[in-house]
Structure 1
Amino acid sequence: MTGRPEMFDFEGISMVHYFTENWENVQNFQARPDDILIATYPKAGTTWVSLILDLLYFGNTVPERQNSIPIYMRVPFLEAVLPKIPTGVELADNLPTKPRLIKTHLPVQLVPKSFWEQNCRRMNVAQPEPGDWSSYLQKFMDGKTVFGPWYDHVCGYWEKKQTYSNLHYMFFEDMVENTEREVERLCSFLGLSTPKEEREKVTQSTHFDVMKQNKMANYSTIPVMNFSISPFMRKGKVGDWKNHFTVNQDNQFEKHYQEKMKSTTLKFRTVI
């Protein structure tokens, strides 16, 4: 089993080597005008949106994809250099589909310039996900998690959205509350005239419990994932933080959150 990587400072944020070893090629990646970039903070619903988009675009035209090609090959992780699979850049460059669906966890300032120059569409899914626990909570508040501070990540894309019309912001809470509504909004953003029956089919196919059991979607076939510790897909719930925070931690985090978010119009819900 591959050992845990060490974090280090890189371009102003915390990183691990899996996402920096191909940096020159990542930054020089040539986007196309019809590319769709799924830009998220880690554990924020990335796979959910990836699968929804793949089904919307290719569920009928290339149905065999769903049963034979893992999601990380259909929607490459641009900056990733992982064992036993091609780099994210190589996978993206060789995607046979149009549009190309590409995933990144990079903060807005590190996204390759060509994505902005080509006016590509993108969407950002955002949801704070604490993980495992007391020391991690402190690291989270200190911004010492991989891909940098959550606050900078979600606010950076939110501010970009104010001047960049091809950016669609999605919230995990909204998707859990009403997936069909959010799929409809996504289709509208993308200019897709997908029939209601097809949207309903996509919604059913991307129910959390269905995705969690789908080997082509749940990352169980990727070498760096140790499912004996934890599945890649956790619970798909909103409000699970109540099962982790002590009263003191909740008070401490609430003060920290309010301070960090006081200068933005971006608003999140923590319960639905």
Structure 2
Amino acid sequence: MTVRKLYLGPLTDNRRWDSVDIRPDDVIVVTPPKCGTTWMQTIVALLFSGDPEVETELSVKMPWVDIRLREMPEVAERLAAMTTRRSMKSHTPMDGLPLHDRAHYICVFRHPLDAHFSYRKHVRNIPMSFFDTWYPEDDADGITFRRFLDGGAEGFDGDAMPLAHILRHYEAATALANRPNVSLFHYADMTRDLAGTFDKLAALLGISHPPHVLDRLVQTATFDNMKARAERYAPSGGKGFMKSDSEFFHSGTSGKWVGKLTDKELSAYDEIMDAHLSPKDRAWLEFGSQGHSPA
């Protein structure tokens, strides 16, 4: 039996997975925060149902197992009662998850700086004050980015999503990428070719829909449609958890850091990335299969 790493923070606890009986046809979406988790979950929900109007209700029907805000016995009971194909979400790196031989793990990544700046917006939109020391609203001294670079991959730091946590996710996923049931996707590739993402994922999951149905599913999962219907597609949308459901889908763009970091900050980021990743791995983690910033 493989020993799993412990990831325990104020928001998440990966030991909660011990209560889940994983099934061979389960689909588990595994990502660092703000890397396209909700987008990928929505694509999975649409492929499962074949219905562009399906009520996704991700927080209930495709739960974030790690999060400590819901009682785990209730989550486990709800999952056990499901008679249709299931999907779940995790922000725990793959080395902290139970690895089933046949359940499919969909790992999604995004340029670390884009994920970081998206997370800055996100913490201002949720009622969780324990992030305030890492993400102060008035940050003239650049505390937030320093902690992004200096933070560790586990514990409180892990829940605050520093660069080390993103790198741990990537290293743990690539270590298992030769398995047929572990697949890596990139936010930039999803943005460039959403229809291709649907095709690839459908093939991996053994799902088939007529072309005209698939076209409607792709249109449903566009950023503009999901933002316009944010109460439907945001996690816990319409329930008042976030200050603004629409702000959850703030822009969906890349290059959010351009012009917002000093040369010194960018050099410090480059040094860490180059120390941990080969040029090929760094190019993929930042820009996906294209391997470089779009012109």
CA distance in 2, matches of 1:135, 1:189: 42
1:139 partner amino acid: R
TM-score by length of 2: 0.74
- Quick one: which of 20, 27, 44 aligns to 1:29? 20
SS at match of 1:92: helix
CA distance in 1, matches of 2:211, 2:257: 34
2:81 aligns to what? 94
SS at match of 1:37: strand
SS at match of 1:173: helix
CA distance in 2, matches of 1:40, 1:27: 19
1:244 aligns to what? 260
Number of equivalences: 249
Structure 1 residue 235 and structure 2 residue 251: aligned? yes
Measured after TM superposition, the shift of residue 64 of structure 1 is 6.2
- Quick one: which of 181, 200, 203 aligns to 2:215? 200
- Structure 1 regions of 5+ residues with no counterpart? 1-10
TM-score by length of 1: 0.80
SS at match of 1:19: coil
SS at match of 2:116: coil
Judge conservation of contact 1:38–1:46 (CA < 8 Å) in 2: yes
2:127 aligns to what? none
2:62 aligns to what? 75
2:92 aligns to what? 106
Between structures 1 and 2, the one with greater helix share:
2
- Structure 2 regions of 5+ residues with no counterpart? 121-134, 136-141, 288-292
CA distance in 2, matches of 1:93, 1:105: 21
- Quick one: which of 121, 125, 143 aligns to 1:135? 143
Measured after TM superposition, the shift of residue 255 of structure 1 is 1.7
CA distance in 2, matches of 1:103, 1:152: 17
SS at match of 2:28: strand
Measured after TM superposition, the shift of residue 71 of structure 1 is 2.1
1:119 partner amino acid: R
1:218 aligns to what? 234
What is the CA deviation profile of residues 66-121 of structure 1, one whole-angstrom value per residue up to 9, with x for unaligned ones? Answer: 2xx52211211112232699854344333342x10111111112113xxx234211
- Quick one: which of 149, 158, 163 aligns to 2:165? 149
Deviation above 6 Å: which 4+ runs of structure 1? Answer: none
Percent identical residues: 21
- Quick one: which of 10, 15, 19 aligns to 2:12? 19
Q: 1:89 to 1:49 in 2, by over 3 A?
A: same
